A and B are shown apart, each in its own frame.
Chain A
Amino acid sequence: QVQLVESGGGLVKPGGSLRLSCAASRFTFSDYYMSWIRQAPGKGLEWVSYISSRGSTIYYADSVKGRVTISRDNAKNSLYLQMNSLRAEDTAVYYCVRMWRLHDPAVFDIWGQGTMVTVSS
């Protein structure tokens, strides 16, 4: 079945960097916009960023703007999130998510299982 699998999470010190990856399978990855969404412990869902199918359009949440870069490699069916200058408040489960409707950026139909990022000294 359609699948998204995240990797790259882990424990990192404040100010450090981490690169998350998401491998997509069983659908035409290059046809879809993709997003990263996170959930901090005990908190709700927070959208982080999205990228258009060819990477020409990118948006970021204000909370991560300037510290995070989303990218994709359609030849490898992969989505990435480079996170720099990490802070304790970036601690969360990060989900790789497929955006289903081109005209509505808030419709997320396929979610990965998530990868945990912990920022702590």
Chain B
Amino acid sequence: QSVLTQPPSVSAAPGQKVTISCSGSSSNIGNNYVSWYRHLPGTAPKLLIYENNKRPSGIPDRFSGSKSGTSATLGITGLQTGDEADYYCGTWDSSLSAVVFGGGTKLTVL
């Protein structure tokens, strides 16, 4: 059971928009920054969003992040088949003194 809660799967058609939610508590998302990662099995995960809504260099603006209270959201617009992957949110949990991740969301582009 993950500390952060994500939907197991989401799907949308190519060109459409999808959002992935990440729910936590005051000890983690509520008082710390959220990051988002994309992971294709067999490859290294990739940082997409940090500090809730910032994109590292090289990440297209199709990817966006937001946070409100104890929840965060990753948005992906203009979906491409290459976006199919597992997506994870992560943050620091001040009560656990640990980095915590969501259980991951599998994105399918239909």
Contact = CB atoms under 8 A, between A and B. Distances in A.
A65 B101 CA distance: 18
Interface band, chain B: 20 to 34
Contacts of B35: 104, 106-108
B85 to A, nearest CB: 13
B68 to A, nearest CB: 18
A107 B101 CA distance: 11
Interface stretch (B13-21, B74-82, B86-94): B86-94
Interface in B55-103: 56, 86, 88, 90-92, 96-103
A35 B100 CA distance: 13
Given A108-B37, A111-B44, A46 B101 contact: yes
B106 to A, nearest CB: 10
B98 A47 contact: yes
Interface residues of A, number: 23
Contacts of A101: 50-51
Contacts of A59: 97-98
B32 interface: yes
Nearest to B51: A104
Given A44-B2, A46-B101, A105 B50 contact: no
A94 interface: no
A11 interface: no
B102 to A, nearest CB: 7
Interface string A88-115: 0000000100001100111111011110
Nearest to A103: B33
B45 A95 contact: yes
A45 B39 contact: yes
21 contacts: A44-B88, A45-B37, A45-B101, A47-B98, A47-B100, A59-B97, A60-B98, A62-B98, A101-B50, A104-B51, A105-B92, A105-B99, A106-B34, A106-B99, A107-B33, A107-B50, A108-B37, A108-B47, A109-B47, A111-B45, A113-B43
Given A44-B104, A47-B100, A107-B50, 11 more contacts: A35-B99, A44-B88, A45-B37, A45-B45, A62-B96, A101-B51, A106-B91, A108-B35, A111-B45, A113-B44, A114-B44
